[in-house]
Amino acid sequence: MPKSPTTDPSSPGTATAATLWLLNGDRINDGKLASFAPQLGPDERLRHQRFLRPARAREFLLGRLLLRHAARHLLGPAAVSIDVAEREQQAPLVSFPALSARHDFHFSVSHSRGWIACLASTICAVGLDIENQAHARDVNALSSAAFDDAQWQWLAALDMPRRVQGFYRLWNNQEALYKLRGNSSRETDPASYGAGWNCFHVDHPHLHIGVCAAQELASFDIVEVSDLNSPQSFQDILIFTR
């Protein structure tokens, strides 16, 4: 039986600190996906049209639908109206004109070979990175280029199965931390990252997942979206909560 996440917009005291939404985009056929394209705002439509690779255009559109889905669950039905301002090399800025008061809404979107993920929170800034396990990277080559000497030496000392696992934990968390820093408000004191931020790995049968947040998360849900019936009616399955 599909279940919604534990976040209840009408009862702030019950809100989950962060929710990770996952969608296997390969389950969505092109005809159904095209019917959602009018949901995009003007900035988003321009960016969507610039993609030369159909796979990237699909991932972009699915990511923006998942972002809207997360906003509606965290902020309530009024968040169905969303304004998105694109920014070069940065996450977009979002606002909700139908909401009567300002609401904090932090998010990070990631995609990998058909899978789409959106991490959202009303508590603090977040960062997310996913990698599809079905498309492995060259761990040895990338480790020497992407990590410092201490990290590379630690990985090199591991046997191959543990080296692959260690590689993705480092890779995902570094990418997620980079996004966290970019998603934090300009008023955030960078020194606060030394005291409050935390990163962790999320187990999943098909994905390597790294999550970072500007503070320790008291609760965390993972929700897999199994189908897109309409923009207001996703089918959700709660697969993890803590």
What is the per-residue DSSP string for 201-236?
A: EE--SSEEEEEEESS--S-EEEEEEEEEEETTEEEE
Q: Residues 207, 89, 197, 125: is their CA dihedral positive or negative?
A: negative
pLDDT tens for residues 91-148?
999 999 998 777 889 999 999 999 999 999 999 999 999 999 999 889 999 998 999 9
Look at the block and give the residue holding tokens 């000392």: 157
Phi, psi of 82 (to 5 degrees): -135, 135
Q: If you ran DSSP here, which 8-state letter would residue 2 be given?
A: -
What is the count of structural domains for the chain? 1
Residue-level pLDDT at 192:
40
Confirm whether 220 is domain-assigned: yes
What band does 214 get if pLDDT is binned at 50, 70 and 90?
very high
CATH number of the domain residue 204 falls in: 3.90.470.20
Does pLDDT of 190 surpass 70? Answer: no
Does pLDDT of 186 surpass 50? Answer: no
Confirm whether 120 is domain-assigned: yes
pLDDT tens for residues 33-53?
999 999 999 999 999 999 999
Residue-level pLDDT at 54:
94
Q: Residue 239: which residues within 8 A CB-CB, separation 6 or more?
A: 222, 223, 224
Query: 0.85 cut: is pTM over it?
Result: yes
Confirm whether 44 is domain-assigned: yes
Confirm whether 104 is domain-assigned: yes
Full domain range(s) for residue 47:
15-136+179-241
Q: If you ran DSSP here, which 8-state letter would residue 12 be given?
A: G
Residue-level pLDDT at 228:
66
What band does 196 get if pLDDT is binned at 50, 70 and 90?
low
Residue 111 amino acid letter: H
Confirm whether 71 is domain-assigned: yes
